[in-house]
């Protein structure tokens, strides 16, 4: 029997095109916002793609989160991170999550930053720094970024 190998991958390319147009989700917070973060994750569609960053005090605070299969969760224990480079400080609340958001977004949102939905929660410092970077540096529209209402980020001041 003569078997031919199909090499055109027509169907695969069509699938890739669909994946490229999916909305990416970027979700980040610290342990103070964990209940809200977990609630937000339950609202995601099963086909959601993207990244979840959770900042915690130490490795003993790492837990498990239920996320869609195409989402990646990264736990960020502050006890293993330093503060600002060269400062000798410990990592402050919100600092690790903000750095992770900025690093991921700087690499992943270079083409069309409007095809993303962002949820930021936790310490004000981290939320504000990440929000400012996304909107000012990358041009992400404020209407796709959700932050705690009490912080009044993105509102006319």
Cα 39 to Cα 24, 66, 69, distances in angstroms: 18, 10, 17
Q: Name which of 106, 107, 90 is nearest 55 in CA terms.
A: 90
Q: What pLDDT was estimated at residue 124?
A: 94
Which residue ranges form the domains of the chain, and what is each CATH number? 22-151 (3.40.50.80)
Model confidence pLDDT, tens digit, residues 11-49: 434 344 444 557 899 999 999 999 999 999 999 999 999
Structure tokens at 49: 């793609």
Q: How close are the terminal C-alpha atoms of the chain, in Å? A: 74
3-class DSSP state of 145: strand
Does the predicted model carry a pTM greater than 0.85? Answer: no
Q: Name which of 58, 63, 64, 51 is nearest 107 in CA terms.
A: 51
Q: Name which of 129, 121, 126 is nearest 150 in CA terms.
A: 121
Q: What pLDDT was estimated at residue 7?
A: 39
Q: What is the residue-wise DSSP string for 41-88?
A: HTTS-TT-EEEEEEEESSGGG-------TEEEEEEEEGGG-BSSTTS-
Q: What pLDDT was estimated at residue 14?
A: 38
Regions in the chain scoring below 50 on pLDDT: 1-19, 156-157
3-class DSSP state of 30: strand
Q: What pLDDT was estimated at residue 114?
A: 59
Q: What pLDDT was estimated at residue 20?
A: 53
Which H or E element spans position 118? Answer: strand 116-120
């Amino acid at each position: 029997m003569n078997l031919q190998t199909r090499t055109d991958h027509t169907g695969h390319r069509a699938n890739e095109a669909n994946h490229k147009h999916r909305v990416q989700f970027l979700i980040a917070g610290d342990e103070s916002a964990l209940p809200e973060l977990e609630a937000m994750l339950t609202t995601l569609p099963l086909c959601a793609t993207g990244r979840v960053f959770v900042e915690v005090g130490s490795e003993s605070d790492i837990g498990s989160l239920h996320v869609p299969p195409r989402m990646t969760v990264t736990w960020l224990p502050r006890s293993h991170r330093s503060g600002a480079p060269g400062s000798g400080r410990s990592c402050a609340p919100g600092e690790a999550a903000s750095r992770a958001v900025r690093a991921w977004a700087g690499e992943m949102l270079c083409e069309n930053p409007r095809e993303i939905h962002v949820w930021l929660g936790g310490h004000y410092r981290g939320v504000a720094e990440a929000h400012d970077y996304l909107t000012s540096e990358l041009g992400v529209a404020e209407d796709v970024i959700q932050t705690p209402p009490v912080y009044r980020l993105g509102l006319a001041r």
